[in-house]
Amino acid sequence: MENNELYNALETAIKGCGVEVYDIEKLRENENYILRVSITSPDGVNLDKCAQVSNVISPILDIYEPMSGKYNLEVSSPGIERKLKNPRQFQASVGELVEIKDFEKNKVKGKLVSADDESITIELEDGESKSYNYSEISQAKTYFQW
């Protein structure tokens, strides 16, 4: 999200509801524009918490207008399988299964064993470990082994 003033206002309001911002995305699906706000909490996220956050941030969105024209606001948890975009998200996902794609389109899967502000380490399915700097990762997501 490019508007830092809006992001900071949303983050402050969302923290006031007892949850954290996971991600804020502006999307277009078919002819609809969507502002998707994903929230997390150590206690989990339920429908009541999503409704509370939606009610709290709606007036802020009326002031800052995150998109021109009509859009839908969606507030939800990021889900069990979710994109990883920044060090904070990787750090919160240590211990989970991840799939990483580098810029040469190589994919690896394994357990995320560590993450700091510069890099991550994955324990691969064969037991080996591999480290990546964030600058080497083109896409990453958690996945659930069904």
Q: Are residues 23 and 69 in the same domain?
A: yes
Q: Are residues 61 and 103 in the same domain?
A: no
| Domain span holding position 99 | 87-142
Long-range (24+ apart) CB contacts under 8 A made by 20-24 are: 22/77, 22/78, 22/82, 22/89, 23/78, 23/83, 23/85, 23/89
Model confidence, pTM: 0.80
> Which pLDDT belongs to residue 89?
92
User: CB count, 10 Å around CB of 34?
Assistant: 15
- Choose one of 37, 56, 76: the last residue of a domain: 76
Encode the chain (146 residues) as per-residue pLDDT tens digits. Answer: 457 888 899 999 999 999 999 999 999 888 889 999 999 998 889 999 999 999 999 999 988 888 888 999 999 999 889 999 999 999 989 999 999 999 998 999 999 999 999 999 999 988 899 999 999 999 999 999 88
Query: Residue 60's domain is classified under what CATH number?
Result: 3.30.300.70
Count structural domains, the chain. 2
